[in-house]
Amino acid sequence: MPAIPANPDRLLADLDHLRTIGAVGTGVSRMAFTDQDIAARAWLAAQMAEAGLEVTVDPCGNLFGLPPGDAPCLLVGSHSDTQPLGGWLDGIYGVACGLELARAALEAGGPRIAVVSFQDEEGRFGGLGGSAVWAGRMSLAAADTTTDADGVSFGAARVAAERIGPAGAIMGEVPPSRFSAYIEAHIEQGPALEAAGLALGAVEAIVGVRRWTLTFRGEANHAGTTPMALRRDAVQGLGRYITDLNTALAPIVTDRTVWTLGRITVDPNAPSIVPGAASVSVQMRDAEAARLGRMRDTALTLAQEVAAARGLTLEAEEGIALDPVAMDPALVDRLAAGAQEVAPGRWQHMPSGALHDACNVAAVLPAAMLFVPSIGGISHNPAEDTAREDLRTGLRALAAALGEDITRA
Amino acid sequence: MPAIPANPDRLLADLDHLRTIGAVGTGVSRMAFTDQDIAARAWLAAQMAEAGLEVTVDPCGNLFGLPPGDAPCLLVGSHSDTQPLGGWLDGIYGVACGLELARAALEAGGPRIAVVSFQDEEGRFGGLGGSAVWAGRMSLAAADTTTDADGVSFGAARVAAERIGPAGAIMGEVPPSRFSAYIEAHIEQGPALEAAGLALGAVEAIVGVRRWTLTFRGEANHAGTTPMALRRDAVQGLGRYITDLNTALAPIVTDRTVWTLGRITVDPNAPSIVPGAASVSVQMRDAEAARLGRMRDTALTLAQEVAAARGLTLEAEEGIALDPVAMDPALVDRLAAGAQEVAPGRWQHMPSGALHDACNVAAVLPAAMLFVPSIGGISHNPAEDTAREDLRTGLRALAAALGEDITRA
């Protein structure tokens, strides 16, 4: 399989420049449609144009660099917006890889590769909004009503997309039918690759998420005058639930299943009052929908048992429920082959525990993702980093995997 | 033992009138030095004067009704201020009992009984402030610097004491040396008497309190990308601690020991982030200082073990530490004898799980307390109530117990 002659030095030079746009210490702040985000997109658009790609900005602010020709081609990218204070690689690594691959492929005379930076992946507004609208999973009208923390709507903010430029850029729709498949490179944002001593991960699925809020409700009482035997203490139910949930889930889960009780609210939350109510968020992630269903049933049954045994009542409010998204098996095989070529024995198949634009794009195109390690598993933080050699290896694996036109795979 | 001819009908009439001062629905709002508090104290002062007691208001706003004569006499009372929205009996029951006993004793020609309503027991400012200053446990200058939720100081608020009146009232010090002993009647504010089917409780001790805040500190991480095996999840430590603390304390405690984990704070407290820190308030109450010490040691050792087993660190910040306050044994015997006389077999010795003015007064005078039941154990709430027959029984028990001059006991 011929590799695209992509240049890791150019990739790193691009990334080094991009981290100066919106730089805050070692981190970056480029929330969607801020001046910093627009500046980064404008710089990317200029590189695309200079490379000979046709620059198009769609109404959501998604930025495309398209190779000459009309036949469907491969799309490579991610997002260039960041968390309010994020790291220097989250999202932009995949965009910069797409830019270098498209540029190198154009220089080499093929294959045809387009690059994209989706908008608002990080959720200044709804999160994953740009790719959701592009893939037809949300209407632009619905996206327009989402607001940021200050009440600014996506609809009002997206007029800034017109400032992306460069001169000659086209404002218009770029339908998914222009593409044959989607590849997204991304930092892992977790510690699994580093812990295993590996350089690359071929993502087979993006995990599904089930979340709900459980509230144990008892009776608030004076902490001095209420004997233990007469209490209906909601925190006692909470403590037992946190502990017993591990035991209850153990027979169901795999090493890659995760569950998190991340938010706790106690009422009235006073040292001298027996807690009358305790709420906890229960979030579960797994790559298999059936397993998530069993986990949900187990977790709710346990909560009912814990409540009943302590004279508490239980309220369960279901929140986010996202099914797992399988990556395209043929594309995963291609990425795995590329990984094996450049890092023999130093890669693995793995799920993505985080959501990515590929979740949305997979609804309309074959899609797959390649992960590079995150040092210490840290992301959404200025300390986010990846060894420069690993950044190079990721590009080389993509170049090896995508050398043959994906539409002929 | 001759009983004081106290009149339960007058007691109930006084209580029924007093609940109209600051009434909010079935509850009462008379925070210290508010117009409602001053109005209640003025009405009490008028009743004292009418009964022939000398009315004196000290610089803290503590209101005394003193019988003629100079020899030390018995002091009976409690407080007439309330929580921001409290019940109709908390505090005022003891003051009204004191008023009726002093009045009836004066009418009957003896024994000499004084009545008091201490100020700010409920803590608009510091809590128990009036009795603390009176008993020399806090200087007036220190009390003056305490502030309410709006930043008003005790020092600024207490000028309202001058408005208590009535005409002829004395503003001045009333030193503890004027008294031989202190008796405080109070609603239980807990469910123990009701649950046991009893009418009266002779309080042997006011429990001590030890409190600290424990913080389990791990590492905040992405809830999707961080495998369970690589997490240092503070909430997992918290859950185990809540549960195991019950087991660890079981060999140490009595039926009357209580412990409460009432306030929980999680950081960053987000459903999608592995909790980096979890704090919990641990409050323990028992009538024996030695037991409280063993409980403290056990609870801290367990916390260290739980933290160490999960790769967490532990911070322990000690808060309130109040030693138990024993009531005067001879006075407790007197109250027990009175209880047995009016409610044979329907009373018990018991600790007070709540703090009372008697905690402070016990530092300078022999002191004891008598409890009447609280319906449903409810207090600090407009639903607070006690059966009228129980209110009568409490007064009759005091009248029986205190008929013989306490100074000759």
Stronger pLDDT, A393 or A171, i.e. the higher one: A393
Contact B257 A233 (CB under 8 A): no
Can you read off the two tokens belonging to residue A286? 């797994």
Which residue of A221, A262, A270 is in closest CB contact with B274? A262
The residue among B301, B322, B343 that closes a domain is B322
Q: How far is A4 from chain B (nearest CA, A)?
A: 30
- B328 reaches A (C-beta below 8 A): no
Same domain, B180 and B305: no
Written as one letter, the residue type at B102 is: A
Nearest CB among A222, A241, A355 relative to B379 is that of: A222
What distances in angstroms separate CA A164 from CA A30, A39, A288, one per listed residue? 14, 7, 40
Q: Are residues B247 and B117 in the same domain?
A: no
Q: Are residues A175 and A312 in the same domain?
A: no
B109 and B177 together in one domain = yes
Task: Dump pLDDT digits (tens) for B225-244.
Answer: 999 999 999 999 999 999 99
Q: Quick one: chain B helix, strand, coil %, rounded to 5?
A: 35, 25, 40
Residue B276: both structure tokens together:
């980096």
- Say if residue B171 is in the same domain as residue B233: no
The answer to the question of residue B70 being in a domain is yes
Least confident window among A283-287, B146-150, B290-294, B368-372: B146-150
What 8-state DSSP symbol labels residue A397?
H
- Are residue B174 and residue B305 in the same domain, yes or no? no
Q: Assess if residue A2 is contained within a domain.
A: no
| DSSP, residue by residue, A334-386 | HHHHHHHHHSTTSEEEEEESS--HHHHHTTTS-EEEEEE--GGG--SSTT---
Q: How far apart are CA B323 and CA B289, in angstroms?
A: 6
Q: Is the pLDDT of residue B405 over 80?
A: no
B409 — pLDDT class (breaks 50, 70, 90): very low
Contact B227 A354 (CB under 8 A): no
Contacts of residue B235 in chain A, CB cutoff 8 Å?
A: 242, 261-262, 264
Assess if residue A66 is contained within a domain: yes
pLDDT band for position B1 (cuts 50, 70, 90): low
CATH code of the domain in which A250 resides: 3.30.70.360
For this complex, say whether ipTM is above 0.95: no
Query: Is residue B269 located within the same domain as residue B402?
Result: no
Shortest CA gap B190–chain A (Å): 5
Residue A192 included in any domain: yes
Give the torsion sign (CA, A364, A365, A366, A372): negative
Tokens of B68: 């003629």
Indicate which CATH number applies to the domain containing B360: 3.40.630.10
Mean pLDDT (chain B, rounded): 95
Distance CA B58, CA B194 (A): 37
Domain-terminating residue out of A268, A296, A322: A322
- Look at residue A407 and tell me whether its pLDDT is greater than 70: no
Q: Which two tokens stand for residue A104?
A: 């190198």
Secondary structure letter of residue A39 according to DSSP = H
Q: For residues B322 and B354, give the distance between their C-alpha atoms in angstroms, rounded to a whole number.
A: 12
Report if residue A28 sits inside a domain: yes
Do A297 and A333 lie in a common domain? Answer: no
Whether B243 sits inside 8 A of A240 (CB atoms) is: yes
User: How confident is the model over A251-281, as pLDDT tens digits?
Assistant: 999 999 999 999 999 999 988 889 999 999 9
Looking at the 3D structure of chain A, how many domains does it have?
2
Q: Are residues A127 and A201 in the same domain?
A: yes
Chain B partners within 8 Å of A123 (Cβ):
none
User: What is the rounded CA–CA span in Å between residue A370 and residue A401?
Assistant: 11
Per DSSP bridges, beta strands A54-57 and A27-28 are unpaired
β-bridge pairing A200-206 and A325-326: antiparallel
DSSP reduced 3-state for A143? helix
Q: Give the three-state DSSP class for A339.
A: helix
Contacts of B123 in chain A (CB under 8 A): none
Using a CB-CB distance cutoff of 8 angstroms, which residues of chain A are in contact with residue B223? 258, 260, 262, 283, 285, 353
**Per-residue model confidence as pLDDT tens digits over B2-49:** 899 999 999 999 999 999 999 999 999 999 999 999 999 999 999 999
Rounded to the nearest angstrom, the minimum Cα separation between A209 and chain B is 9
Q: Is residue A336 part of a domain?
A: yes
% of chain A at pLDDT higher than 70: 98
Whether the predicted pLDDT of B408 surpasses 50: no
Q: How far is CA B397 from CA A278, B9, B109, B110, B340, in A?
A: 42, 15, 19, 17, 8
What domain range is B171 assigned to? 8-206+324-408
Contacts of B284 (CB under 8 A, 6+ apart): B209, B210, B211, B257, B258, B259, B260, B292, B295, B296, B299
Convert B102-124 to b/e letters by CB count within 10 Å (16 or more is b).
Answer: bbbbbeeeebbbbbbbbbbbbbb
Q: Among B322, B354, B378, give the residue marking a domain's end.
A: B322
Task: List residues bridging with A202 in a β-sheet.
Answer: A349, A370
Residues B192 and B216 in one domain: no
Neighbours of A71 (CB within 10 A): 10
**Whole-number Å distance between alpha carbons of B75 and B117:** 10
Nearest CA in chain B to A206: B224
